[in-house]
Amino acid sequence: MKLAGVSGAALSMDSGGAEAGEMNPGMSSSVNVSNVNPGKVLLTELTRKEVREWVASGNLKAAIIPTGSTEQHNEHMALSMDTEAALVISHLTALKLYPQVIVTTPVAFGICPFFMKRQGTITVREETFLGLVWDICCSMKTHGINAIFIVNGHGGNSRALRSNVPEFSSKLGIPIDACSYWDSIPRDRRNEFTDTGSVPGHADEFETSFALAAFPEKIRRVTYDDDEVYTWEPEQEDLDRVGYFDAQWFSKEFDKSSYEESLLGTAEKGERFIPYAVDWVANKLQTMIG
């Protein structure tokens, strides 16, 4: 299977024991997803004709909106980590539930003012982020999609989503729910997926394992040099404009220790976690759409 953004060979999906065969719209359990062009569940890859016909078929039950960030992920990871992770989980979930779920364009900007002293991060205001998610929900509803699930990949978005999604749902009159993909791991099971038990962490063992499994090209082999100056001191008025605040937990020591923990990351750990999270998200979505 070739997935946009997914290069790990181990990410082939369990087809639920189905034999290879023809796609059978409306009976997702009989679909062997390895026969499905992965682009068929991505809104951005479809034509308007394909969207129209999918809605008309009655098979399309829900949309997933992946949300992430463009955010510093220490010395060794690309800034797209959170967006790509949310997209991978969303994409694999939609394939698992094919042909019931479409994945929208991901929201690649999140709320991360606390990272503005490391270069590269783009932060957006909470109202900007929520406004964008709301507008995407409204657009999908306008096109006849009557259930929406938001799969989040950036910790800074979690609270805003949790506290506003119920209102989105009641305003639009359709089920809308949100999760962060790591919510799939209960606190007491974190050590089953990581040595450190740090889930989701930030650019440490957990996220590095995810990336090594799904998009290893986004990881760099670098060493952490104590003498290097990693911080950046912007003008105060620039910091004020982007809503910077000092998150106490995000210190130089945190930077260093999370880098060191990232060295425990392996593709095998990611390969174990990703299908587990996909199953969990798929179950939640299935409950929503009935």
Contact footprint for Zn ion (CB under 5 A): 81-82
CA 154 to chain centre: 7
Closest-CA residue to 153 (of 64, 45, 265)? 64
Q: In angstroms, what is the minimal distance from the CB of 155 to Zn ion?
A: 7
Q: Which is nearer to Zn ion, 32 or 69 (CB)?
A: 69
Check if the beta carbon of residue 165 is closer than 8 Å to that of residue 149.
no
Q: Which is nearer to Zn ion, 33 or 85 (CB)?
A: 85
Check if the beta carbon of residue 116 is closer than 8 Å to that of residue 44.
no
Q: Which is nearer to Zn ion, 82 or 177 (CB)?
A: 82
- Residue in the shown chain whose Cβ atom is closest to Zn ion: 82
Q: Which is nearer to Zn ion, 111 or 140 (CB)?
A: 111
Q: In angstroms, what is the minimal distance from the CB of 174 to Zn ion?
A: 29
- End-to-end Cα distance, the chain: 28
Q: In angstroms, what is the minimal distance from the CB of 269 to Zn ion?
A: 16
Quote the CA–CA distance of 65 and 43 in Å, as a whole number.
10
Q: In angstroms, what is the minimal distance from the CB of 76 to Zn ion?
A: 12
Quote the CA–CA distance of 262 and 204 in Å, as a whole number.
4
Q: Which is nearer to Zn ion, 61 or 154 (CB)?
A: 154
Quote the CA–CA distance of 271 and 92 in Å, as a whole number.
13
167: helix, strand or coil: helix
Q: In angstroms, what is the minimal distance from the CB of 29 to Zn ion?
A: 33
Check if the beta carbon of residue 107 is closer than 8 Å to that of residue 65.
yes
Q: Which is nearer to Zn ion, 32 or 83 (CB)?
A: 83
Q: Which is nearer to Zn ion, 43 or 219 (CB)?
A: 219
Which pair of structure tokens corresponds to residue 196?
Answer: 């450190």
Q: Is 228 exposed, middle or buried (0-12, 13-18, 19+ CB in 10 A)?
A: exposed
9-38 burial by CB neighbour count: b if 16+ within 10 A, else e? eebebebeebeeeebeeeebeebbbeebeb
Q: In angstroms, what is the minimal distance from the CB of 203 to Zn ion?
A: 6
Q: Which is nearer to Zn ion, 40 or 224 (CB)?
A: 224
Q: In angstroms, what is the minimal distance from the CB of 143 to Zn ion?
A: 31
Q: In angstroms, what is the minimal distance from the CB of 150 to Zn ion?
A: 16
